[in-house]
Amino acid sequence: MQQVFERGGTLEIAVARADAIDSPTVDPMETAGSADLVWRLKIVSMGEDSLLVEAPVALGATMPVHDGVGLVGAITIGQNRWKFRSRKISNELPDGARGLCMRIELPERVERCLRRFVRMQTQHAASGSVRVWPLLDPKTVVGAEQANEAAFKASVEGVAIPVASPPMPRVGPGFTATLMNIGGGGVGLRVEPSDAAAFGHHRIFWLEVPLGPGQGVPIAATGKVVHTHLDSSQRTYVGISFDFTFNLPHQAIVIEQIHRAMQAAQTHKES
């Protein structure tokens, strides 16, 4: 943890499932499934028994985490990865900070992740898989995004979704990727070697991103690739930023979708 802080690195943080917080037999990283929201948070400072980290932010909006909520996290240094449990303590706004921060408990222990866990994760990816299509004509996203907005509003109001099969923009052949994190202004995806060639030919994609149990309407939005890299298994990790160039009001809908999913996760795991 100290090494990550000194290097200006980040932690991956997710809200933990209630059945895993106090159970020593449960692997904490298994409690953050591929359908959960996972945030990359920078360490602001370290104390004897706590850490101050940046609060989760999506598209400029802070996503509140309730005090006392259990958290699970991971630290990645090179090819090595460690996991830990923690809890949210409080919110703080220290001098010089870029925004709201949250104090979390310093983990009692940090455990090395086993390689077999990475393989296990792909077995459960279907429940939280992200659908990805190369976007051939960005101007055609407006109708699809408006249909997504109408479906989301209908789900919030508890009425029938207006269009059972929403229109699609003009796209190429699609594939499935694994959601690794969501925050800031976009998503991080893991792509299997068989599908990675698309990123050599396209930089703009149409995304459908699920937001976990009970959140029936996924995010549907345009995304631009900002970086890619390969791991030792030749899988591609892709950073994609949301793009609202052709339909700026859709940004507010995506923020609300993420906010509701974040609150629902905490409500479910506290009940």
pTM of the model: 0.66
Task: Tell me: pLDDT of 96 over 60.
Answer: yes
Which residue has better confidence, 160 or 55? 55
Last residue of a domain, one of 81, 102, 122: 122
Distance CA 134, CA 270 (A): 39
What is the domain-level CATH number for residue 224?
Answer: 2.40.10.220
Tens digit of pLDDT for each residue in 3-14?
777 777 788 888
Question: What pLDDT sits at residue 257?
Answer: 87
* Domain that residue 11 falls in: 2-122
225 and 172 share one domain:
yes
65 and 148 share one domain:
no
Tens digit of pLDDT for each residue in 132-166?
999 999 999 999 999 999 989 888 888 877 766 77
Distance CA 40, CA 14 (A): 9
